[in-house]
């Protein structure tokens, strides 16, 4: 079962369970997936890889919004955004731990032959592709900077 079908199936389950937050979140995911499927230049299909990119983007948006709400002293709104982010993260692969991320970035640095901070762009290009969905871009960037600096 691909991610699109899984989300559709989980929407039915959320309706039956009367889980309002999960239902709203899953409908939002499905909306994004449908927009990607019908976008200009699309072949009408949505690969799991493309779906993962959409989910990563959605989680980042929710976390950014939650941070803004926290900064503006609106914890009730931040809580909703974080709740949605948590539901979306259930469909992403398990995130890498700090140690695993360090190990993967070291492998990529060795693979690209990078030696200094000047090579950060080259390393980030490979790392972003290989670690997509496994770690946030900020974390990858910080780790590359730390290891090359």
- Average pLDDT, integer, range 7-15: 95
For residue 132, what pLDDT band results from cuts at 50, 70 and 90? confident
Higher pLDDT, 14 or 43: 14
Query: What pLDDT, on a 0 to 100 scale, did the predictor assign at position 138?
Result: 84
Query: What pLDDT, on a 0 to 100 scale, did the predictor assign at position 68?
Result: 97
Query: What pLDDT, on a 0 to 100 scale, did the predictor assign at position 52?
Result: 86
Query: What pLDDT, on a 0 to 100 scale, did the predictor assign at position 69?
Result: 96
pLDDT, tens digit, 9 for 90 and up, residues 27-74: 999 999 999 999 888 888 888 888 888 998 999 999 999 999 999 999
pTM for the predicted model, two decimal places: 0.77
The yes-or-no verdict on residue 147 having pLDDT over 90 is no
Q: Where in the chain is the domain with CATH 1.10.10.410?
A: 98-148
Question: Token digits for 140?
Answer: 């990858």
Question: Token digits for 67?
Answer: 């941070």
The string of DSSP letters for 83-102 reads HHHHHHHTTSPPPPPHHHHH
The set of residues, in sequence order, having a beta carbon less than 8 Å from that of 50 and lying 6+ positions away, is 36
Higher pLDDT, 76 or 128: 76
- Between CA 58 and CA 72 the distance in angstroms is 21
Give the domain 98-148 fold: Arc Repressor Mutant, subunit A (1.10.10)
Q: Where in the chain is the domain with CATH 1.10.1510.10?
A: 3-89
- Between CA 38 and CA 45 the distance in angstroms is 8
pLDDT, tens digit, 9 for 90 and up, residues 70-127: 999 999 999 999 999 999 999 988 888 889 999 998 999 888 888 888 888 888 888 8
- Between CA 10 and CA 21 the distance in angstroms is 13
Give the domain 3-89 fold: Hypothetical Protein Yqey; Chain: A; domain1 (1.10.1510)
């Amino acid at each position: 079962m691909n991610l699109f079908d899984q989300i559709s199936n989980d929407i039915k389950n959320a309706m039956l369970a009367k889980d309002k937050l999960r239902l709203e979140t899953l409908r939002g995911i499905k909306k994004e997936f449908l927009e990607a499927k019908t976008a200009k230049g699309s072949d009408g299909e949505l690969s799991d890889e493309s779906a993962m990119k959409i989910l990563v983007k959605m989680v980042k948006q929710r976390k950014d919004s939650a941070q803004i709400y926290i900064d503006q002293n609106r914890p009730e709104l931040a809580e909703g955004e974080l709740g949605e982010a948590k539901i979306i993260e259930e469909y992403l692969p398990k995130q890498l731990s700090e140690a695993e991320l360090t190990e993967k970035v070291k492998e990529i640095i060795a693979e690209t032959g990078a030696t200094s901070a000047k090579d950060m762009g080259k390393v980030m290009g490979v790392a972003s592709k290989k670690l997509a969905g496994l770690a946030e871009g900020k974390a990858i960037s910080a780790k590359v900077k730390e290891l090359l600096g």
